Amino acid sequence: MRTDTPQTIYRKDYTPPSYLVDTVELGFDLDPARTIVANRMTMRRNPDSAQREIELYGENLELVALRMNGNTLSEKDYRIEGSLLTIPDTPEEVTLEIETICVPEQNTTLSGLYTSNGSFYTQCEAEGFRAITYFPDRPDVMAVFTVMLRADKEKYPVLLSNGNLVEEGELGDGRHYAKWEDPFRKPSYLFALVAARLVCQEETFRLKDGRDALLQVWVEEGNLDKTDYAMQSLKNSIRWDEERWNLELDLDRFMIVAVGDFNMGAMENKGLNIFNTKFVLANPRVATDIDFQGIEAVVGHEYFHNWTGNRVTCRDWFQLSLKEGLTVFRDQEFSADMIGTESGRAVGRIDQVRTLRQAQFPEDAGPMAHPVRPDSFVEINNFYTVTVYEKGAEVVRMYQTLLGREGFRKGMDLYFERHDGQAVTCDDFRRAMADASGRDLSLFERWYSQAGTPVVRAETRYDEVDKTYTITLFQSCPPTPGQTSKFPFHIPIAVGLLGADGRDMPLIIGGKDAGPTTVLELTEPEQSFVFENVQEQPTPSILRDFSAPIILDFNYGDADLLHLFSHDSDAVNRWEAGQRLAMGRLLKLTGEAGVGAPLMLDDTFLLALGKMLSDEALDPAFREQALLLPSEGMVAEQIEVVNPMSIHLARQFMRANIGARLRTELLAQYQANQTPGEYSPDALSAGKRALKNLCLAYLTAAQDEEGLQLAQQQFDEAGNMTDRVAALSALIHARAPGAEAALQRFYDEFEDEALVIDKWFMLQASAATTDVGAVRSLMRHPAFNLRNPNRARSLISSFCAGNPVQFHAPDGSGYAFWAEQVITLDALNPQVASRLARAMDRWRRYTPELQEHMKKALQQVAGQQRLSNDVREVVGKALAN
Ligand code: TRP
Ligand code: ZN
């Protein structure tokens, strides 16, 4: 917690480390109130550095002893300024021995060494290792670690760290020890230890080269009935990385540990991944289809980091997307390959597009906008963003689109061949892609350096005489903080042309056959592409498979959209056409909502929806996506002056209208998509449940008598959490008479399942019927706990970021609540507080009255004397001009 003005760190100021570390031996005497850490490291001067001082970082540490080459250093031999410890005039080769003390039980930040439910865990990315010992805590310093853990055997029977267990035994006094060696050099952010009372599911697994690896999933007692899916996902991940990328597990042992108090999803520590319980624990009783999906993706993500992140790591934190964008791309491809069908892949892609539009585009258009490779930051923890992760993954995907799958694979192979064991940059990755393919990717660099979402406007012209069809593309990119004007991007735009019969026309460009879909490469501000031998006026399908993270501005008429919605062979654009049809109507209704005139929805649109809903040739999962309306947040992004209530009313009207007028079809599909028998989270069954539950949501939104009965019945009889929670949600949102009793029964049945109780809080916090007063009383519920990030997010963040009507209450009470919670949380856990702080990012887009209240709340937070760098950066940027 600082009171001084925070420092901005710039990418251009990078200098290599003055000293390199070869080996680190760590000794831990674990005690929640007073843990002693002994660190012996061998260092040598870095030939690439002109600097002659040793620089170590340390935070919240009591320094007990510091020895250099056997001699104790006294306070005049070194300087400590803030978190930097400098030892001047040091020899070429140095052995440093450092003894420090930290207090894990008082560490509420969940960064560094902390306790959760009485056991020890660590989280070191990005800069948590410095809260464990003094160290050159930067990712370009890679060392071999040996770790000795000592702790009470009764309380902490399990002692884990990275790599291989080489020794364990008793110490007397009821204490025991375990010694771990990690054979691979790694940066300090990948260090981890666990000392806990845990049990595991384990299995040996045969790797491609014939070696056997021991796989373990560690959880608290009582949770062993929820580890199967994580274990299965781990095995699938290992297999997939071997098959698709020829990348093998390099350790004899791979462990996953689940912990209830965790700031993010999971962490890729070498050989010892530590996970938020949310992304490990699942069985049909407590987890939904979405939860199962999340586990597969996150288990894959962390496992894939072993190559993209650990074996090849980042030179500095500005390069974060080098590992995160690439690893998200890899986990997306993994999930798609696990489904295995074309339509399954498309549904996954649609989800990715939704995330981009719902979260990344707004970030790109707001005060925290930053390039995929940022130029500066105050607090690196604020840059684990949708831009670095999801837009970063889109950037990686664009290489594959431009180079083809084979070309991209060659680039990946070259990347590993060149950089295994190194700490590198995004430029190194791009160079590997360019060199392996022989392509000029110099313009492509702008995806890394320029923030903001490019807008591509398209104009088309059909020449009936020449039988040519010309698409002209114009690109631009709005200004973002610190970047007023932008250079053109290198944008792959996948295009197809539909004939009047709905079929793809064969494409001919420059006399050459270009298949049903071709990738146009836009590199100039304006470029025209001519299709030849086009026999009739086509309907263009532009940006197929969402081939670039851009906003496509094309003046589609309803007739075109209806044509694409019924026929486009590209599932993403088929879905997109439906979204455009819905968005047009939502915007119109929003303008009319509250004015007094009755709202109306046209038959054409409803007819198209009804046809889609009942088209049993299509995957249920796809139909669900096609029927899901753009969220209130997405509508808000399209409007100059946002009034959340009118958006809510418009969307609610539309939902109720769909429910009433498509009643017969909805009831029929509700019945047709039941999944009787034993629950399975596979994509087909999950898709059926999703469609069925969307039907239920529409019916209940219309207050349909039979729909409400079905919801109550489904809640009463549900054999799995997906159906149970969907029914409960329908009852709550429809304010059904049984809603209160159902909530109570749900609580009583799942009282002992923390992750389910999170759902219970979240459902209530995000219901438009829950006002800020109700949220405050939920905070007084005995099950509420501000210190547990999952729980805090399930109530507070769900309300501030997921309940727009109530959060934006006209009297500003939602914002006052926000300010209060950000301030309280900041004193406990700056990372969680700072994420909550971002709920106000888009404050300048609301009505003047709301803006006034929002500004006051922001100023109240900014005016606090004691504030973390995390929150100060976020609110400071929000208030800046
Ligand atoms: N590297 C992790 C991942 O993407 C995420 C991460 C970064 C993290 N910092 C963290 C997780 C802090 C927990 C806490 O997989
Ligand atoms: Zn990651």
Q: What ligand is nearest to the CA atom of residue 265?
A: 1
Q: Please check whether the two domains, 1-197 and 455-567, share a CATH topology.
A: yes
Give 735 Cα–ligand 1 centroid separation in angstroms: 38
**Three-state DSSP state, 555:** coil
Tokens (6 digits) for 147: 């770790």
Q: Please report the atom of ligand 1 found closest to the CA of residue 324.
A: 4
- Ligand 1 atom having least distance to the Cα of 305: 15
306-327: average pLDDT? 99
Yes or no: say if 195 and 158 are a contact pair by the CB < 8 Å rule.
yes
Q: How far apart are CA 44 and CA 606, in angstroms?
A: 71
633 alpha carbon – ligand 2 mean position (Å): 26
Tens of pLDDT, residues 700-749: 999 999 999 999 999 999 999 999 999 999 999 999 999 999 999 999 99
Which protein residue's CA is at the shortest distance from atom 1 of ligand 1?
267
In total, the chain counts a number of residues equal to 881
For domain 751-881, give the fold.
Zincin-like fold (1.25.50)
Phi-psi region of 545 (alpha: psi -120 to 50; beta: other; left: phi over 0): left
For ligand 1, atom 7, the nearest C-alpha belongs to 125
**d(CA 28, ligand 2 centre) in Å:** 27
Asked if residues 492 and 513 have their Cβ atoms less than 8 Å apart, the reply is no
- Contact between residue 311 and residue 420 where contact means Cβ atoms under 8 Å apart: yes
Structural contact between residues 421 and 398, judged by C-beta atoms closer than 8 angstroms: no
Decide if 351 contacts 176 (C-beta within 8 A). no
Q: Distance (Å, rounded) from C-alpha 318 to C-alpha 774?
A: 42
The alpha carbon of 341 and the centre of ligand 2 are apart by a number of angstroms equal to 26
Tell me which ligand sits closest to the C-alpha of residue 268: 1
Structure tokens, 111: 């960064």
Judge whether residue 2 has pLDDT over 70. no
Asked if residue 384 has its Cβ within 6 Å of ligand 1, the reply is: yes
Banded pLDDT at 800 (limits 50, 70, 90): very high
Give nearest CA residue, ligand 1 atom 2.
267
Which long-range contacts does 857-861 make (Cβ < 8 Å, 24+ apart)? 857/812, 857/815, 857/816, 857/818, 857/819, 858/819, 860/819, 860/823, 861/819, 861/822, 861/823, 861/837
Instruction: Say what the pLDDT of residue 594 is.
Output: 81
Q: What is the pLDDT of residue 4?
A: 59
Residue 308 Cβ < 6 Å to ligand 1: no
Which numbered ligand comes closest to the C-alpha of 299? 1
Q: Going by CA atoms, what residue is nearest to atom 10 of ligand 1?
A: 125
Give me the mean pLDDT over the 12-25 stretch.
98
Residue 589 near residue 653 (C-beta atoms within 8 A): yes
Q: Under CATH, which architecture does the 1-197 domain have? A: Sandwich (2.60)
Ligand nearest to the Cα of 190, by number? 1
pLDDT beyond 70 at 7:
yes
Tens digit of each residue's pLDDT (9 = 90 or more) over 743-785: 999 999 999 999 999 999 999 999 999 999 999 999 999 999 9
Cβ contacts of 655 within 8 Å, gap of 6 or more? 629, 697, 698, 701, 702
Is residue 3 scored above 60 in pLDDT? no
How far is C-alpha 471 from the chain's CA centre?
35
Instruction: Look at phi and psi of residue 210 and say left if phi exceeds 0, alpha if psi is from -120 to 50, else beta.
Output: left
Query: What are the structure tokens assigned to 16, written together?
Result: 């290599």
Does residue 630 carry a pLDDT above 80? yes
Burial of 354 (0-12, 13-18, 19+ CB in 10 A): middle
Task: Provide the mean pLDDT of the chain.
Answer: 98
pLDDT category of residue 690 using cuts at 50, 70 and 90 = very high
C-alpha of residue 383 to centroid of ligand 2, in Å: 12
Ligand minimally distant from the alpha carbon of residue 393:
2
pLDDT for res 583:
98
Pocket test for ligand 1, best of 114, 263, 310 (most atoms within 8 A of CB): 263
Instruction: Among 267, 302, 330, say which to mutate for ligand 1: greatest number of ligand atoms within 8 Å of CB.
Output: 267
**Tokens matching residue 9:** 């760190």
- State the distance from the centre of ligand 1 to the C-alpha of 355, rounded, in angstroms: 19
Rounded to the nearest 10 degrees, what angle do helices 392-419 and 426-437 cross at? 80
Q: Can you give the pLDDT at residue 595? A: 85
Given a cut of 60, whether residue 1 has pLDDT beyond it is no
- With 80 as the cut, is the pLDDT of residue 360 above it? yes
The protein residue with its alpha carbon nearest to ligand 1, atom 6, reads: 267
Residue 723 in contact with ligand 1 by CB distance below 6 A: no
Q: What is the pLDDT of residue 340?
A: 94
Confidence of residue 864 (pLDDT cuts 50, 70, 90): very high
What value does the mean pLDDT take over residues 665-669?
A: 99
Is the minimum distance from the CB of 267 to ligand 1 under 6 angstroms? Answer: yes
Whose alpha carbon is nearest atom 9 of ligand 1?
125
Ligand 1 mean position to 303 CA, how many Å? 13
Q: Is 263 in the pocket of ligand 1 (CB under 6 A)?
A: yes
- What is the token pair recorded at 842? 């888009």
389 CA → ligand 1 middle, Å = 11
Q: What is the pTM of this model?
A: 0.98
- What residues are labeled active site? 302
Whether ligand 1 lies within 6 angstroms of the CB of 125 is answered as yes
Alpha-carbon distance of 368 to 370, in angstroms, equals 6
Secondary structure of 457-522 in the HEC alphabet? EEEEEEECCCCEEEEEEEEECCCECCECCCCCCCEEEEEEEECCCCCECCCEECCEECCCCEEEEE
User: What ligand 1 atom has the least distance to the C-alpha of 381?
Assistant: 9
Q: What angle do CA 303, 307, 312 make, to 5 degrees?
A: 140
Decide: 560 in ligand 1 pocket, CB within 6 A: no
Give the DSSP H or E segment for 152: strand 142-152
State how beta strands 19-29 and 35-45 pair: antiparallel
Amino acid found at 508? I
Q: Residue 439: what pLDDT?
A: 98
The CA 266 to ligand 1 mean position distance, Å, reads 6
| CB of 835 closer than 6 angstroms to any ligand 1 atom | no
Supply the pLDDT for residue 881. Answer: 81
Cα of 267 vs centre of ligand 1, distance in Å, is: 5
How far is 802 from 367, CA to CA, in rounded Å? 20
Q: Is the CB of 301 under 6 A from ligand 1?
A: yes
Q: What digits encode the pLDDT tens for the residues 781-797?
A: 999 999 999 999 999 99
Instruction: Point out the ligand 1 atom lying closest to the alpha carbon of residue 389.
Output: 4
Which strand ranges, in their side-by-side order, compose the sheet holding 199-206? 199-206, 212-219, 253-259, 272-276, 266-267
Q: Which CATH class is domain 455-567?
A: mainly beta
Query: How many other CB atoms are found less than 10 A from the CB of residue 380?
Result: 18
> Which of 121, 122, 123, 280, when mutated, tests ligand 1's pocket best, judged by the most ligand atoms within 8 Å of its CB?
123
- Number of the ligand 1 atom closest to the C-alpha atom of 301: 15
Ligand 2 centre distance from Cα of residue 40 (Å): 30
Query: Checking DSSP bridges between strand 455-463 and strand 551-553, what pairing results, if any?
Result: parallel
Quick check: 60 and 106 in contact, CB under 8 A?
Answer: no
Question: What tokens were used for 521?
Answer: 């490469």
DSSP H or E stretch at residue 657: helix 644-661
Top mutation candidate among 114, 116, 123, 125 for ligand 1, by most atoms within 8 Å of CB: 125
φ/ψ (deg, to 5) at 594 = 85, -10
**What's the CA gap between 203 and 338, in Å, rounded?**
21
User: Beta partners for 9?
Assistant: 377
Pairwise CA distance, residues 21 & 46, whole Å: 9
Exposed e or buried b per residue across 52-63, where buried means at least 16 C-beta atoms within 10 angstroms of its C-beta: eebbbbbbbbeb
**Which has the closest alpha carbon to 315: 138, 161, 181, 477?**
138
**DSSP notation for 788-821:** SHHHHIIIIIHHHHH-HHHHT-TTSHHHHHHHHH
Pocket of ligand 1 contains residue 220 by CB under 6 Å: no
**To test ligand 1's pocket by mutation, which of 127, 186, 188, 264 has the most ligand atoms within 8 angstroms of CB?**
264
- Per-residue pLDDT of 456-490, as tens digits, reads 999 999 999 999 999 999 999 999 999 999 999 99
- Atom 5 of ligand 1 has which residue's CA nearest to it? 267
What is the residue extent of each domain of the chain? 1-197, 455-567, 751-881
Alpha helices by DSSP H, listed for 136-254, are: 228-245
CA of 344 to the centre of ligand 1 (A): 28
Report the pLDDT value the prediction gives residue 111, as an integer from 0 to 100: 98
State the closest ligand 1 atom to the C-alpha of 276, by its place in the atom list counted from 1: 13
Number of the ligand closest to the Cα of 127: 1
264 lines ligand 1 (CB under 6 A): yes
Between helices 320-339 and 228-245, what is the axis angle to 10°? 100
d(CA 464, CA 852): 56
Cβ of residue 123 lying under 6 Å from some atom of ligand 1: yes
Question: Is there an atom of ligand 1 within 6 Å of 331 CB?
Answer: no
Distance CA 370, CA 376 (A): 9
